[in-house]
Structure 1
Amino acid sequence: MYRYDERDHTIIQERVAQFRSQTERYLAGELSEEQFLPLRLQNGLYIQRLAPMLRIAVPYGLLNSAQLRRLARISRDFDKGYAHFTTRQNLQFNWPQLEDIPDILAELAEVEMHAVQTSGNCIRNTTSDPFAGVARDEIADPRPYCELIRQWSTFHPEFAFLPRKFKIAVSGSEADRAAIRVHDIGVQIVRRGDEIGFQVLVGGGQGRTPVIAEQIRDFLPEEDLLSYLEAIVRVYNQLGRRDNKYKARIKILVKALGAEEFGRRVEREWEQIKDGADKLTDDALAWAKSFFTAPEYKTFDGAVSDAALQAQADDDKAFSRWLERNSFPHRVPGYRAITLSTKPTGVPPGDVTDRQLEAIADLADEYSFGEVRVTHEQNVVLADVPQDRLLELWQAARKHGFATPNIGTLTDMICCPGGDYCSLANAKSIPVAEAIQRRFDDLDYLYDLGDLDLNISGCMNACGHHHVGHIGILGVDKKGEEFYQVQLGGSSSENASLAKVLGPSFSRAEVTEVIGKILDIYLEQRRPEEPFIDTYNRIGVQPFKEKVYAKAS
């Protein structure tokens, strides 16, 4: 895990002092709302429906136990005792007081955290695979490259005021668990012989105009990563529209020019800068990789460890279910990665209390080398758990509400805060999520459905990723009343696709019944062992539409 050096500490402390002065001047009436707006956004501060919201950067989703405990303390001392994990692998406080923000930022700086560039028209937090470094299908660990991108993009003088917000994701495995195809830039690590490089995708995104990214480079040498990204963002910064925020994202520019022409312009820009200061030397690459070495794993006989774990699972059905759904194969024999679910019935997806944050820190220290990862599905991963301690971990996780065995199922949904908090939302998301949780809380039924992504957004900004849910729900406004549009067939995987609108929207009271009808058609039409998304792709939207909109006889 990357640790700050003296320069990092100085930069963040100076930023805290700077924002403290700016906040004091604003509260004293010396800065107007218009003047303060870009300053607060560059420090992660929004004004939501009921209170300010502060978004904390969690680089590529990685946290240590000391940081978790500090986040818990901040939540308790400056907020209402809980926080929210986001789809960008960050963490949000929904109720801080404006005058307290500088003190919160000072507290964060003490544990090497900040809120810089978590908002505004700049390069946001770079996201990645929560199983980075441990996945069996990994080509190379993406975290060193994420850290290099973070350092390159933070406080970049050219890119502080881009036409619109800008998001980058990096995947290092064969399976895409970072949703790189719905990002402004998606970076896929590839191998050509003994050489590591990158496939580069551009122009993806969600929001009002969802787009799947297109490839402009099939192989970029490792040392050219930052200079090539620089060329992409330069072209966007020069040509991206600033007259209309709804048409300002890079996806609009790529569509207007065509991916081929956009790629040509990037190559021309890159030719001018590729041998400059951003070229990564062997020393720079080795330096970045030195922060992400393997922990001190114990040596296990894999077969013996697997057999012992299977015996424990055979003795306890509840443990077996949790193991099946919430554990992930590890590259090191005798270990597994464990996902702590934040989604028991009745809890808004991604929400955790201050005590739960402290419990996660304790679990990380006890079972996973003091480190956790936030997922873009709003859960938390302990990446390095010995198999002989999984039963013990499960029992501990149950006490704190983290052992719901629903990872990858219908109730492991992505959900934005929606109209309960967000001033941009057209409708509430959290009550819809809870209604679905309560309606479909039978584990046997969930397991029969199999892997199924359900994503909920309260508005077209798509913070809940509804465009790429197998089932997506979008809150819409109809003459001041909340309604919900249902979409089917989306995916954020390596076979990414955008969902199609099923038809006219529904009232909140109708949503769970509609989801039930959709699932009925799936169960009727699926082939043995066929996941929902494959059934949908095979039969199309029409059977679902006919079932949902059929008139009662």
Structure 2
Amino acid sequence: MQSFRTELENLDNPVVEQDIIDLAAKIEKFHGGDIDPDKFRSLRLARGVYGQRQPGNQMVRIKIPFGKMTIQQMRRIADISTEYGGGNLHATTRQDIQIHYVSLDRTPELWAKLEQDDITLREACGNTVRNVTGSPIAGVDPNEPFDVSPYAQAVFKYFLRNPICQAMGRKFKISFSSSEKDTGISFIHDIGYIPKIKMVDGKEVRGFKVMIGGGLGAQPAAAVKAYDFLEEDQIIPFAEALLRVFDRYGERKRRVKARFKFLLADIGLEEVMKLIQEEWKSLSTKSYKIDTNAVPKPALPATIAFSDKALINPERFALWKETNVHPQKQEGYYYVEIKVPNGDIGAAKAHKFADIIGKYAADDIRVTVNQGYILRYVKEDSLKSLFTELDDLNLANPGFDSTADIIACAGTDTCNLGISNSTRVALELENVIEREFPELIKNNDIKIKISGCPNSCGHHGIASIGFHGSSLKNKANKKVLPAVQVLLGGGIDKDGDGYIAEKVIKVPSKKAPDVLRVLFNDYDDNAEEGEYYATYFRRQGKDYFYQLLKFLADTDNLVDSDYVDWGKDQQFKVETEVGECAGVIIDLFATLMFEAEEKAEWAKQAYELDHYADSIYHAYNVFINGAKALLVDRGVSVNTQAGIMQSFDEEFGSDFEGVVGSSYTDFVLRIKQNEPTKEWAEKYIAEADAYLARVKEVQAAEAETV
């Protein structure tokens, strides 16, 4: 604890400091039995601390907004991984960095040390706005209308700790692409922004095409267009209004239906846009000007550096340059892509990697959604030396983001949800490509992605060829074996249009390499010249591929090894637990009342800081949590905040007329009808206090009659 306090002294942000102190206090209360375990889980998830498959170990997810990281930040994370975790940096498909095998009790100290280099864990997991992702080539993309990096940074900062997204029904994801090629895969996000420039009165006006309602998981959905052009100062107000709608009307009981995509499907785009407009008056800002200088130009190497190591393999260098090196929009500079198997770099290697970056590239590393890294502002004269030194670290493998660069989630290695091994399957498939189809190292169309379960953390839902972990039962001997569900036809085409992959067939996991062989040979034999794989899949149709692969699903001729998962030596069995990706929903009266009282205190604190919109939203949550507490206590099931208000009117309306009048719903929803002024905040907070006092009286009276 003394070390933890010492680390806090090095911080200069009292909000962050208090956040870390609160986490430490809650851990202590959890150990003492003073916090319900499910409630504690939701608290730690919102602070980036996620339970691992291995009991007693935590995965800590580090938020890297739009994947941008400095050399010093990489070094800091490497040191943290060595001191507190398993000594590995795992890059994710949302541009985060994960550290595994961390003790829960050490997470406050770990967090305090990260914050010394402006790195946060806050809201990296849980029912919040997750890491804001962005095109890793933003700022250097020759096709971009403008650099979206400062816009992604502004959205990240605006919603960090924002009251409107601290206890939503499910997680919420936002992305920024750099061009119409959809380099930020907007079509699978709750909100995806694609930059555009429009001429108005002879002047260039910046704005964004806005896509909403996308998502992967077991029931994927492609986003729909909300705006063809939304001016830049409106993107944050729009996002806030949409989040308010999602918070109020989104599902909260059935977790599998609680993402925004389901709300959009249920009520339609027109109704969603109408509800967004109804929220507009309550926003603290109707126009949010983005500081385009918020992400400064990175420091460049002072001189062109050269390695004293000889280039041993000119042919390999030429291939690497062809597949991993691209000209920037800044003349004379190149960005360099670093392929990292499974996204894993050991801490010691990360330090050596940082040394190399400092010599040859800008102090601006970008984590990519395919679990690699991009270096920027490399001079052509430095490329050979850069390659030579990267090759010494096994970080100069050609074929970045090609067919040979397979994405895989952590799967059964560490995740509770993993059904069958994904990381080992990825390595096996890469071996097949390297040995039998080496020409595919230059193919940037066919993407292979693997997840350990249906939730698509490995993005199998948008793969040209995707696999997710599953199981099969041999009907003859009743034994269970590891399997993979094969999905085909997903991805982004040359015009930037996105497609969701379709489920085709389930096969034993050990047959995955044969699936690849059959599909590659079929495509080579039957595709038209220049035909993209997604187009080929749609032309042939799902049943064509089912018939093509059907023989691999046969369980009549299995051998003993088919019943053992990749990388294992024992008979396979399904071992999954409840996942923590979306947090949990708490239906205990005491816990809900604790939340209501906590929100009431937060409302007063925000008011004292002149954060009136925040104070009003905290007060709104006092009403919601107090109502839900009474409804739960009476055994009334509720799914949404809107449903809570309606049910409360029906069940308790007469008990609260003296406080809220004839309609509780109308009383609470005045939040949408008033500007967030000081006077309105003061009034609404006072009414929330009076309401909460009445909740306690009613509950006490009901308890006496039981």
Q: Distance in 2 between matches of 1:209 and 1:407?
A: 29
Match of 1:522 in 2: 523
Aligned partners of 1:13 and 1:109 also within 8 Å: no
Offset, 1:295: 5.2
SS in 2 for 1:440: helix
Match of 2:49 in 1: 45
| Higher alpha-carbon Rg | 2
SS in 2 for 1:139: coil
Match of 2:180 in 1: 174
- Write out aligned runs for 1:152-551 (5 A): 152-193=158-199, 194-270=204-280, 272-273=281-282, 276-277=284-285, 279-281=287-289, 285-286=290-291, 288-293=292-297, 316-343=314-341, 349-442=342-435, 444-447=438-441, 451-478=445-472, 481-492=481-492, 494-503=496-505, 505-550=506-551
Aligned partners of 1:350 and 1:379 also within 8 Å: yes
Aligned CA distance change for structure 1 residues 426 and 31 (closer, same or farther; 3 Å): same
Aligned partners of 1:227 and 1:273 also within 8 Å: no
Aligned CA distance change for structure 1 residues 158 and 290 (closer, same or farther; 3 Å): closer
Aligned partners of 1:455 and 1:465 also within 8 Å: yes
SS in 2 for 1:455: strand
Report the number of matched residues: 523
Match of 1:31 in 2: 35
2:125 is aligned with what amino acid?
S
Aligned CA distance change for structure 1 residues 215 and 382 (closer, same or farther; 3 Å): same
Q: Distance in 2 between matches of 1:7 and 1:149?
A: 23
Aligned CA distance change for structure 1 residues 533 and 356 (closer, same or farther; 3 Å): farther
Comparing both structures, which one devotes a greater share of its residues to helix? 2
Aligned CA distance change for structure 1 residues 448 and 57 (closer, same or farther; 3 Å): closer
Match of 1:130 among 109, 126, 136: 136
Q: Distance in 1 between matches of 2:442 and 2:159?
A: 44
Q: Distance in 2 between matches of 1:81 and 1:98?
A: 16
4+ residue runs over 6 A deviation: 297-300
Aligned CA distance change for structure 1 residues 290 and 100 (closer, same or farther; 3 Å): closer
| Bigger Cα displacement from structure 2, 243-252 vs 24-33 | 24-33
2:66 is aligned with what amino acid?
Y
Deviation digits for residues 338-385 of structure 1 (CA, Å, limit 9, x no counterpart): 011102xxxxx1111001211221122112222200001100110211
Q: Distance in 2 between matches of 1:103 and 1:298?
A: 36
1:527 is aligned with what amino acid?
E
Offset, 1:296: 5.7
2:484 is aligned with what amino acid?
Y
Q: Distance in 1 between matches of 2:441 and 2:451?
A: 25
Aligned partners of 2:134 and 2:176 also within 8 Å: yes
Offset, 1:8: 7.5
Q: Distance in 2 between matches of 1:342 and 1:297?
A: 24
Aligned partners of 1:182 and 1:492 also within 8 Å: no
**Runs of 5+ consecutive residues of structure 2 not aligned to the other structure:** 1-9, 305-309, 474-479, 555-706
Offset, 1:520: 0.6
CA RMSD between the two structures: 2.3
2:427 is aligned with what amino acid?
E
Q: Distance in 2 between matches of 1:31 and 1:357?
A: 38
Offset, 1:394: 0.5
SS in 1 for 2:66: helix
Offset, 1:319: 0.9
**Runs of 5+ consecutive residues of structure 1 not aligned to the other structure:** 1-5, 301-311, 344-348
Match of 1:307 in 2: none
Match of 1:303 in 2: none
Q: Distance in 2 between matches of 1:529 and 1:8?
A: 56
Q: Distance in 2 between matches of 1:278 and 1:114?
A: 28
Q: Distance in 1 between matches of 2:222 and 2:19?
A: 36
Offset, 1:10: 2.7
TM-score by length of 1: 0.90
Match of 1:306 in 2: none
2:447 is aligned with what amino acid?
D
Offset, 1:173: 1.5
